[in-house]
Amino acid sequence: MPEDIAEQRRKLKKLIEELEQRRGRHTELVTVYVPAGSSITDMMGQLRNEQGTAENIKSKATRKNVVNALDKIIQHLKLYKRTPANGLAAFCGNVSEKEGVDDLQLWTLEPPDQLFTKLYWCDQRFDLDPLRDMVKEKEIYGLFVIDSTDADAGMLRGKRVSVLSHMDSPVPSKIAAGGQSAARFERVRQGLIEDHMKRAASMFREQFEAEDVRGVIVGGPGPMKEKFVEGDYLSDSLKKKIIGVKDIGYTGDHGLDELFNRSQDILKEAAVAKEKEIVKGFFDELHRGGKAVYGLNEVRKAIEMGAAATVLVSEKAELEEVEFLCDCGFSEKTIVKKSEKSSHTCKQCSKNMKVVGEREMVEALEELAATTGAKVVHISRDTAEGEQLYQVGGIGALLRYKI
């Protein structure tokens, strides 16, 4: 990953951390996402309408805060002639912690990745999910499209395809130019094909030999792709990276998109293989008594200590983060089994506690893990390994060091 992207992602993480601390006194913090390729003028129109609606808010203080926040965002959007390439995010609201004191603040961001979400949202918190999704670690796959006329290399990160490089081929079409003998023409053509393959192979190596490319899918409309994959153009280590070959109708940008669309089966399989590898590594460590822990409390502790490197969570683990409040005044925020939240008792007076807030555990864990640099991996129950993880409680962690 180039340095500037890593740096942008680091900044984005910091912004998320800062914004998730902010709370409005009421439903008055405004989140606006303008997706890449959409009209910023349309969004301004929508926000003006929302301003009109906000005039009906009963509480005078809340009404003023929402209207002012919208106004500030509209003023900011006016600075743009068009939507920035990756879209735009704006967060604005009165974030003052003192009643009666105003502190209207605006944060804006041109995100490092394309924004797909269109949103106007008013709440006590900012909606940060689209940004969180952006900083999540994503697997990188290579896409390679080849036929006799050209070759294209692309990168797949998450669900996003980007073009890395394009190469035209010098190979003429099959019809011989006038005057040449068919045999001579064919000899020349074969020589040019050979050159094209070699150049394509060096493009392939340049783009995909990096370690973080997990696998490469090769596609093309004709037989050239098989020749390329099976011939002696690529080294054995590069050939090992190829996880599938697909027939597609196009080359170029369209070909890369088509290759991605037709490769869902291959990508699914690769994801399953990756999952199995992680869970197997986890159980190996566990059996060895090494750098692994399991169970909700142990994993939580490991994350809080900063010892967790990778947190494994079963997709269907019935766990939730719940905020409890007791009549005696004692409150607690903790992760519990969904089935046990109604019988949670107070540490102070042993009475049953009331549920005052809840969210899915994965969301809570990701937030916690993000503060210590741990990675959260979702594990399905589709594999024997995944089922095994579910059976031990659905949560485990691989550690940086033994605790």
Task: Considering the complex, state which of residue 49 and residue 348 has its C-beta at the smaller distance from Zn ion.
Answer: 348
Q: What is the pattern of x (binds Zn ion, CB under 5 A) and - over residues 375-394? A: --------------------
**What gap in Å lies between CA 270 and CA 217, rounded to an integer?**
11
Count of residues that bind Zn ion according to CB under 5 A: 6
With CB under 5 A as the contact rule, the residue among 5, 328, 356, 384 that binds Zn ion is 328
Minimum CB separation of residue 350 from Zn ion in Å reads 7
Minimum CB separation of residue 354 from Zn ion in Å reads 10
With CB under 5 A as the contact rule, the residue among 119, 274, 330, 383 that binds Zn ion is 330
Task: Considering the complex, state which of residue 15 and residue 346 has its C-beta at the smaller distance from Zn ion.
Answer: 346
SS3 34: strand
Decide: 224 and 216 in contact? Cβ < 8 Å: no
Task: Considering the complex, state which of residue 5 and residue 328 has its C-beta at the smaller distance from Zn ion.
Answer: 328
Minimum CB separation of residue 335 from Zn ion in Å reads 20
Q: Name the E strands within 269-400.
A: 292-294, 308-314, 319-325, 331-337, 354-360, 375-379, 395-399
Minimum CB separation of residue 341 from Zn ion in Å reads 16
Give 243's contacts (C-beta < 8 A, 6+ positions apart): 141, 215, 216, 217, 266, 269, 270
With CB under 5 A as the contact rule, the residue among 293, 326, 364, 374 that binds Zn ion is 326
Task: Considering the complex, state which of residue 2 and residue 329 has its C-beta at the smaller distance from Zn ion.
Answer: 329
Minimum CB separation of residue 352 from Zn ion in Å reads 9
Burial of 166 (0-12, 13-18, 19+ CB in 10 A): middle
Q: What residues does 155 pair with on adjacent strands?
A: 142, 162
Q: Which of residues 343-372 bind Zn ion (CB under 5 A)?
A: 346, 348-349
Backbone angles phi, psi at 323, to 5 degrees: -100, 120
Task: Considering the complex, state which of residue 322 and residue 365 has its C-beta at the smaller distance from Zn ion.
Answer: 322
Minimum CB separation of residue 356 from Zn ion in Å reads 13
Options 88-96, 268-276, 295-303, 327-335: segment touching Zn ion (CB under 5 A): 327-335
**What gap in Å lies between CA 106 and CA 261, rounded to an integer?**
39
Q: What residues does 120 pair with on adjacent strands?
A: 32
**What gap in Å lies between CA 204 and CA 155, rounded to an integer?**
11
Task: Considering the complex, state which of residue 210 and residue 328 has its C-beta at the smaller distance from Zn ion.
Answer: 328
- Residue at 38: amino acid letter: S
Using CB under 5 A, list all residues that contact Zn ion: 326, 328, 330, 346, 348-349
